[in-house]
Amino acid sequence: MGSQRFGRSLTHPEGACNMPNPHTHRPHRRLFLARSSVSLGAAASAAVAFPKLCATAAGAAPQDATASQVTRPDVPWLEEVTRLDVPPDAPALPPLLPAFDAPGQVTANLPEETRVQLRRLWMQRRTELFDLWRKVLGTLPARPTPPPQLEILQTEVIDGIRRARVRYPTLPGQTTEAYLLHPVGVSGPLPACVVFHSTVPHSILQPAGIEGDANKAFGWHLARRGCMALCPRNFLWPSNDRIDAHTETERFLRDYPHATGMARMLWEGRLAVDILAAHDLADAERIGAIGHSLGAKEALYLAAFDARIKAAVSSEGGVGLAFSNWDAPWYLGQQIHQPEFGREHHELLALCAPRPFLLVGGDSADGARSAPFVAAAQTIYGLYGDPLRLGLYNHRGGHAVPAPALDRMLAWCQAYTA
């Protein structure tokens, strides 16, 4: 599978081009946080002082769910990826539920009455976290309603897959392009997936299976498995074959000084969900998200802030704020270095609960050091019972997608959105 090419091909390795890389992993830096002892009451009082910012980018907190509502069989290797090896010197992350901090497997085996009570506390804390993260992200205009119409620029059918290049409006006065892929000869509704590209010069041509590493052609592979895939272009690319991260970020922040680059990526990811949810061939109740590197970051945020995402895979994005260049202006900026910042991404993993989420690493941006983040969020997943569907798969192959990792990433999407 790793050597296969579809349509035009390019063997240009990711990261080999001479351009600023929006995703830079930091393999030798570790983050240690003091364990919090704040009570729920105090946390609630502190959250009141923050206005509900970025409501249109992050959306409202999703409603509670007493079960993950997975009706199909789990992936056969679920237990492998959910049982974590957390080293004794792991960073101490603040507990997601103050005054309660237990491993996910312990939480999942608590009496149902106890878990119900803890879920009520979690719902309160979850609302607080949404508000705090909205403050981090900033504000953007409301997304268009109804979703924008797609302008079809080019279409082709290859091996039973229709691959269309489309254009649609995003923020006022701006447009982007994407590839929309789905199998032909089907009536639907199909499971669907938002597929984010990584930092390569050819942007959306990568996930569509036209250029680059075939193991990162997630959109093509998902379509071959019976899924509809929408592969939107990140705003840092002014065209499909050219990145200009600094210029595009400066322009965006000039127009929207109260937002972050990550807020825009989330806004455009949610717009992609809007488009899929409104498409005649897509099943709005079976939408997933997947991405590698830069795209992994987008998949994490989209899954955390949009409850319509029923399953997600995030590969080598650097889940810890110290694991990657989250301080870049096109992500969260320098605010993350302020002493009062106080946020970490185990909170976003927990906001995905109980929906299936797979973190994939190769011991570069993510891997063994990501286990404490997943373990912390499993405490919340456990409140919804067993099995836990938050896992970490470490292929130990570096900042890449080896064939075994690709197989598992696709299988996760297929199992939990099909």
Q: Which residues pair with 138 in a beta bridge?
A: 259
Q: Is the dihedral of CA 116, 121, 123, 129 positive or negative?
A: negative
Instruction: Decide: 194 and 296 in contact? Cβ < 8 Å.
Output: no
Say if CB 234 and CB 272 are below 8 A apart: no
Burial class of residue 35, CB neighbours in 10 A (0-12, 13-18, 19+): exposed
- The per-residue pLDDT for 188 is 83
pLDDT at 36: 30
CB 284 within 8 A of CB 157: no
Read off the tokens for 326: 């989250």
Sorted by where each begins, the domain ranges of the chain are 137-417
Choose among 263, 272, 329: nearest CA to 301. Answer: 263
Identity at 364, one-letter amino acid code: S
Give, as one character, the DSSP assignment of residue 110.
S
Give pLDDT, residue 89: 80
DSSP 8-class letter at 194? E
pLDDT at residue number 196: 99
Residue type at position 124: Q
Residue by residue, DSSP assigns 29-59 as -----PPP---HHHHHHHHHTS----HHHH-
Sequence-separated (6 or more) residues with CB below 8 Å from residue 153: 164, 165, 166, 167, 177
Instruction: Please check whether residue 267 is in contact with residue 194, taking contact to mean a CB–CB distance below 8 angstroms.
Output: no
Cα–Cα distance between 175 and 335 in angstroms, integer?
A: 29
How far apart are the C-alpha atoms of 135 and 114, rounded to whole Å?
A: 32
**Using CA atoms, how far apart are residues 204 and 330, in angstroms rounded to an integer?**
18
pLDDT of residue 171: 98
Residue 393 pairs in a beta bridge with 360
Measured distance CA(381)–CA(389) in Å, rounded: 7
pLDDT computed for residue 87 by the predictor: 81
| Residue 413 pLDDT | 98
Which CATH class, in words, describes the domain spanning 137-417? alpha beta
Distance CA 202, CA 194 (A): 18
| Extended strands (E) in 143-206 | 151-158, 161-169, 175-183, 190-196
By the 8 A CB rule, do 203 and 243 touch? yes
C-beta separation of 345 from 300 below 8 A: yes
- What is the structure's pLDDT at 146? 96
247 by Cβ neighbours in 10 Å (0-12 / 13-18 / 19+) ranks as exposed
- pLDDT tens digits in sequence order for the chain, 418 residues long: 333 344 433 333 333 333 456 666 554 333 322 223 222 232 222 222 222 233 446 665 555 554 456 777 999 999 999 999 998 888 789 889 987 888 888 999 999 999 999 999 999 999 999 999 999 999 999 999 999 999 999 999 999 999 999 999 999 999 999 999 999 999 889 999 999 999 999 999 999 999 999 999 999 999 999 999 999 999 999 999 999 999 999 999 999 999 999 999 999 999 999 999 999 999 999 999 999 999 999 999 999 999 999 999 999 999 999 999 999 999 999 999 999 999 999 999 999 999 999 999 999 999 999 999 999 999 999 999 999 999 999 999 999 999 999 999 999 999 999 8
What is the spatial distance between Cα 402 and Cα 411, in angstroms, rounded to a whole number? Answer: 14
Query: In this structure, what token pair is assigned to residue 97?
Result: 């539920």
Phi (first) and psi of residue 253, to 5 degrees:
-70, -25
Predicted pLDDT of residue 65: 52
Q: In the prediction, which pLDDT does 49 show?
A: 25
Tell me which residue of 199, 202, 219, 220 sits closest to 211, measured CA to CA: 202
Predicted confidence at residue 222, as pLDDT, reads: 99
CB 210 within 8 A of CB 401: no
Whole-number pLDDT of residue 233? 99
Which are the contacts of 93, defined by CB distance < 8 A and separation ≥ 6? 33, 35, 344, 346, 372, 373, 376
Question: Rounded to 5, what percent of the chain is helix, strand, coil?
Answer: 35, 20, 45
- Give residue 173's pLDDT: 96
91 within 8 A of 32, measured Cβ to Cβ: yes
Q: Where is 20: in which H helix or E strand?
A: none
